[in-house]
Amino acid sequence: MKNFFLTLHMISMCLVIGTLFLQSLTVVFRLRLKSAEEAKGLEKTQSRIHKFIYYPILGVTLISGIVLAIKTGAFSEGKWLHWKIGLLMILIALGVQNGKQIKEAVLPKKYAMMVHIAIFIVGAFMIYLATIKPF
């Protein structure tokens, strides 16, 4: 059963980070579109992906992570899990911010790019912590 939850958690975590990464990138690309109709169509698609793919997969990731941590006793292993949970909160906040960026029509490209880069850095560090467990 542990292997099932580990596999489910890893796949859903990759989907969450990948969805956020691509969604934030499409926000940047949408700022470059010339036609208002194209931008509106892309915004509608982004909004649907965010609501119907990102949030359900995030729920699966959270539930499978909690079950996995309980089954393996990871809370008592070390501080790496506490750091990962802190980074998870940052990643969720970035996801909420990305959802707001999708709805905004006017947004500075530099600001949209900062969220995109932060998602990559936080996601990479979370994977590092789970894989290496440095402390």
Residue ranges covered by each domain of the chain: 2-132
- Which pLDDT belongs to residue 106? 65
For residues 16 and 14, what is the distance between their CA atoms, to the nearest angstrom? 5
- Which pLDDT belongs to residue 19? 93
- Which pLDDT belongs to residue 105? 64
Query: In a 10 Å sphere around its CB, with 0-12 CB exposed, 13-18 middle and 19+ buried, how is residue 99 labelled?
Result: middle
Within 10 angstroms of residue 49's Cβ, the number of other Cβ atoms is 15
Mean pLDDT by 10 residues, the chain (135 residues): 91 92 87 86 91 95 93 80 92 91 76 87 90 82
- Which pLDDT belongs to residue 27? 86
Mean pLDDT of all residues belonging to the chain: 88
For residues 34 and 81, what is the distance between their CA atoms, to the nearest angstrom? 45
- Which pLDDT belongs to residue 59? 96
